[in-house]
């Protein structure tokens, strides 16, 4: 299904100070394409303007004080295909958007039994196993996650992916490359953060506006499998921007 991006010009009263400041505003809602329900926590960004926000409980967002021009709008949410559109922004009345996100394909039907309760439930796990058989990266399987039951996700990564070095920064746990000696006091900008995908959604990439991904935002029980690739071994599908200079961490959630 193609993404529906509806642009409505809001003809409201504009403050002269806003016009004089030559600032543009874009706001609106992010909705489920099939149900029309609001999507909470979706990321809405103007990468070229280094501006990003997240939707509230009603799916609403607003990005204000943007220099007029033509921008690519990028909308992402876990469990949904990302949406992109070229958006002209002008000073004055805000641009109103309704953005529909298509849900990713559902999991394959299976027979549900008590024995299956802890089995990996993600349609992508078949290809996960194919890549694991090729031996190009390092992997954490659902079975290994279950053996580490009771440990936090970052503790599992620390124990099972020696190529990843975890850094505590402002209460967050960030994944960096294990190449070389990285000190806990090394400035954030100089660290080699790995790119992060969660269910096919790019959550962090070097050279973009996206902030490093906090591993503590996930629990081990939520995860079906994990892949880690060095710069040289990262598959093309996980390096669309060519920025995997520090490696790539791929996380698949239970669905």
Provide the residue ranges of all domains of the chain, joining segments of one domain with +.
5-101, 114-253
Tell me what pLDDT residue 156 has. 92
Tell me what pLDDT residue 179 has. 52
Question: Which of the pair, 242 or 139, is modelled with greater confidence?
Answer: 139
Tell me what pLDDT residue 65 has. 92
pLDDT tens for 120-169 read 667 788 899 989 898 889 999 998 988 888 888 999 999 999 889 999 88
Q: Is the dihedral of CA 240, 133, 123, 60 positive or negative?
A: negative
Please determine, for residue 67, whether its predicted confidence score (pLDDT) is greater than 80.
yes
Tell me what pLDDT residue 118 has. 60
Closest to 23 (Cα-Cα) out of 73, 72, 67 = 67
Please determine, for residue 2, whether its predicted confidence score (pLDDT) is greater than 50.
no
CATH topology of domain 114-253: Ferric Hydroxamate Uptake Protein; Chain A, domain 1 (2.170.130)
Give the whole-angstrom CA distance, residue 94 versus residue 23. Answer: 10
Q: Report the pLDDT averaged over residues 176-180.
A: 63
Question: Which of the pair, 217 or 5, is modelled with greater confidence?
Answer: 217
Q: Report the pLDDT averaged over residues 203-229.
A: 88
In sequence order, what are the beta bridge partners of 24?
66
Q: If pLDDT is split at 50, 70 and 90, which confidence band does 119 have? A: low
Please determine, for residue 82, whether its predicted confidence score (pLDDT) is greater than 70.
yes
In sequence order, what are the beta bridge partners of 96?
8, 27
Tell me what pLDDT residue 21 has. 54
Please determine, for residue 55, whether its predicted confidence score (pLDDT) is greater than 50.
yes
Close Cβ partners of 119 (under 8 Å, ≥ 6 residues apart)? 142
Where is 131: in which H helix or E strand? helix 125-134
Residue 236 burial (10 A CB sphere; 0-12, 13-18, 19+): exposed
Closest to 26 (Cα-Cα) out of 1, 59, 60 = 60
Helix (H, G, I), strand (E, B) or coil at 132: helix
Where is 229: in which H helix or E strand? strand 223-229
| Among the four given CATH numbers 1.10.3720.10, 3.40.920.10, 2.60.40.1120, 3.40.50.80, the one describing domain 5-101 | 2.60.40.1120
The whole-chain average pLDDT of the chain stands at 81
């Amino acid at each position: 299904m193609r993404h529906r991006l509806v642009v409505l010009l809001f003809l409201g009263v504009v403050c002269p100070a806003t016009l004089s400041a030559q600032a543009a505003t874009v706001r609106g809602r992010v909705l489920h394409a099939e149900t029309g329900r609001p999507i909470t926590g979706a990321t809405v960004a103007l990468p070229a303007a280094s501006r990003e926000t997240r939707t509230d409980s009603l799916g609403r967002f607003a990005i204000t004080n943007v220099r007029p021009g033509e921008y690519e709008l990028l909308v992402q949410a876990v469990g949904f295909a990302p949406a992109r559109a070229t958006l002209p922004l002008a000073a004055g009345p805000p641009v109103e958007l309704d953005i529909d996100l298509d849900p990713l394909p559902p999991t394959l039907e299976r027979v549900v039994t008590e024995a299956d309760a802890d089995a990996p439930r993600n349609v992508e796990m078949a290809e996960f196993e194919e890549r694991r058989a090729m031996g190009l990266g390092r992997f954490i399987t659902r079975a290994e996650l279950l053996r580490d039951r009771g440990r936090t996700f970052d503790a599992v990564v620390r124990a099972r992916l020696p190529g990843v070095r975890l850094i505590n920064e402002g209460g967050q746990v960030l994944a960096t490359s294990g190449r070389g000696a990285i000190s806990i006091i090394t400035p954030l900008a100089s660290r080699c953060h790995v790119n992060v995908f969660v269910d096919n959604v790019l959550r962090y990439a070097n050279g973009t506006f996206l902030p490093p991904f906090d591993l503590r935002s996930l629990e081990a029980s939520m995860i079906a499998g994990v892949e880690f690739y060095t710069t040289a071994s990262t598959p093309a599908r996980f390096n669309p921007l060519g920025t995997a200079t520090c490696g790539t961490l791929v996380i698949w959630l239970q669905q």
